[in-house]
Amino acid sequence: MMARRTEACVFCEIVAGRARASFVHEDESVVAFMDIRPVNPGHLLVVPRQHLESLSELGEELGSRLFNVARDLQSAIRASGIRCEGINLFVADGEVAGQEVYHAHLHVVPRFAGDSFRVTADWPSPRPREELETVAAKVRNVAVVAGASDDGGGGRAPVTGLGLADDEVRIEPYDYSWPDHFAEICALIRPAAPDARIEHVGSTSIPGCSAKPLIDMSVALSPGTSLDTEAASACGLVFRAVNPEATLFAFYCPLGRRLANVHVRYRGSSSELWDLLFRDFMREHPKDVVAYGELKCQAVVAGDRTAYSRAKAPFIESISPRIHKWASESGWAPPADD
């Protein structure tokens, strides 16, 4: 996961007119201006007006606009008389990829024989097909491809966005819209439990964690109170199961996809506290987040829900001592009531 940056953003300053730049394009969503340290004459940057740090945050419409503007500007460079025998479109997405300004942007770089621009690597020999297919399967199982459709060969096109069918297992990269979806669903179900502590839990509550696109919600009632089942039904909650730790409800969208699992239990119960503690520990330990996400991506390849659940258990068991030690040393406490 890319670290979120808090310092002033030079691109935002340029977009707002508070810093100078040599513009070549402006519209309602995207601007383009000359790179202040050009690799070659004509090197320019295409930048969304909105401050979004990563390519994955752009969304389909804005991402398409960014690349369409870059396409048109590379044609303009070629026709301008600037020395140009080819064009590179280049994105540095993340610190290790060379990103220096944490505002998503696309480089358009004119190229000519003998220039200084280089992208070097120790290119290996071709890899075995089995190895490539294994890696491809990992990507396919989390891929969010806009406009994907059935390929005619009987394979089902990927379903993307928030929500799952009841028999579906799918992992997606972390989506910064998940907390917003939690807030929206929370407001809808609040009438069923007006005094409950409602918290976003599970993997979608942990920034950077790959997860099933399904919001897990903890609804912790005050002891001696109960969920208003009539209000719960009216706001879209559907009863699913009772277990010793919680009563499970699901929240569905009108098309029948399950958007959230809603775990109803009492405030201060062991299941509520564990979900909150696990979430808060993971938020502070990004290496564990990466390891957990990779494990889930591997476990989902077979598409077996039971095997997927079993695969996560050893990881959680292995870090539990560290979680409890961290809680003790940090003085962790559950969030205060609203």
Q: Which residues are catalytic?
A: 105
Helix (H, G, I), strand (E, B) or coil at 241: strand
Phi, then psi, of 262 in degrees rounded to 5? -115, 110
In whole angstroms, give the CA distance from residue 41 to residue 82.
7
Q: Are 216 and 202 in contact (CB under 8 A)?
A: yes
Beta bridge partners of residue 265, listed in sequence order: 220
Q: Where are the beta strands (DSSP E) in 142-298?
A: 197-201, 215-221, 237-242, 247-252, 258-266
Q: How far is CA 61 from the centre of its chain?
A: 17
115, with CB counted inside 10 A (0-12, 13-18, 19+), is middle
DSSP category for residue 4: P
In whole angstroms, give the CA distance from residue 60 to residue 160.
12
Q: Are 235 and 191 in contact (CB under 8 A)?
A: yes
Structure-token match 């969030």, residue found: 335
List the structure tokens of 91. 């994105």
Q: Which H or E run contains 32?
A: strand 30-34
Q: What order of strands is seen across the sheet that includes strand 86-90?
A: 23-26, 30-34, 44-48, 106-111, 86-90
In whole angstroms, give the CA distance from residue 256 to residue 171.
19
Alpha-carbon separation of residue 318 from 137, 281, 312, 321 (angstroms): 27, 14, 10, 7
